[in-house]
Structures are given as C-alpha cells and as structure tokens.
Amino acid sequence: RHCRAPHKRQRVRDEVAKLDLNRNPDMIAFAVAKGMPYCAAIGQYGFYNNWFVTHVDWWLSEPNVVRMIRAFDESQLIFTHRSNDLIFQTAALRLYMPPARRRRFVDFTYQHHTMRQGAVVYGGIESGTKDRDSRPRLKAYVAKYGGAITACEVQSRPNSKSERLLYVNPGPTSTAPSCGAEGRMDFV
C-alpha cells in the first residue's frame, strides 16, 4: 500500500497540480500516462454516504479543489459516466485535506445502498457505536434485503483506537464500502 506513505501522497498532489485537467476529461488515464502513481488499494474505498459535513469555504477557496470542481463540471462525466460525488469528494479530500482535519463519524447507524431491479447491488447498513438499537435494525435489514451481519474494525481519526462496527452488505461485493477484506479499515 505504497500510497499511504506521506511522501507518496505529496507526489500525487504535486502531479495533479501540474495537470491541465480542463483539457483532459479522462483524468485517471491521463494522470497515469504522465507517471502519476495510481493507488488501486486505497482508491477502492470512497466516502460512500449521503451524509457529509464540511466547511463549504474549503471547497471554494482551496485552488486545487477549485480546479477539480471546474474540471468535473466541464467534463460532464458526472452526467455521462457516473463520475459522482463519491469519486469527487474522495479524491479532493484525500489529495488536498490533511487526514488530521478529517473525521469519520461512527456513533450512529447509517443505511445507504444502491438498488437495481429490486436488489441491493452496493452498500448496506452499518451499526453505530452509540446506537443501542443497532442490532435489531441490522436484523430487520437482513430480513428485508438478505446478507449477513459481519464485524469490521474501523478508525474514526488518524492513529485512533479501532472501534468495532457491524454491517450488512447483501450486494455482490460482500464487503462494506468502508471495510477491507481483512475485516478492518484504518483511517486514510
């Protein structure tokens, strides 16, 4: 997982800053062709939710983020190739916001999934550490959509103690969007 090293993340930021993203709608292919490292291991985990707390000023004042917003808007990929908020927000935060300024909220139960033809294809439900009713909620979700209750160890901040969450993902990926195959997700 070479992209977890701070000097590698800085190289990614430096390379993205050099790119003219406005003229290159296929940003990943263009960046890789220019020698920017692609972090497949880390890139598979995005911020998958519809509950997002942020300071809007950061998105409108950070020059690199402003360029990314312009590039996403002008590429129109958000409309044609589902280059969506998960991709955009994850890329901007991981490239330009130091981990110490980010937090993952784990204290409430959260459900979010994508359905196609009546079946969950991605996502699921995750227990909250302070939700006393989370177990019945997860059981009700399993009864309605299928899947199994599985545990995952997650961090809410960099270098924080891991907390045990339970999740259900009845879709074909069989893992929660925020938990690796090894049953844990360190803060990145």
Q: What pTM, to 2 d.p., does this model score?
A: 0.65
Q: Residue 177: pLDDT above 90? A: no
- What's the pLDDT tens digit per position in 130-167? 999 999 999 999 999 999 998 988 888 888 999 999 98
pLDDT of 92 over the 80 cut: yes
pLDDT digits (tens, 9 = 90+) for 66-81: 988 888 888 877 777 6
Count of Cβ atoms closer than 10 Å to residue 61 Cβ = 10
* Residue 43: per-residue pLDDT: 44
CA gap 11, 26 in Å, rounded:
20
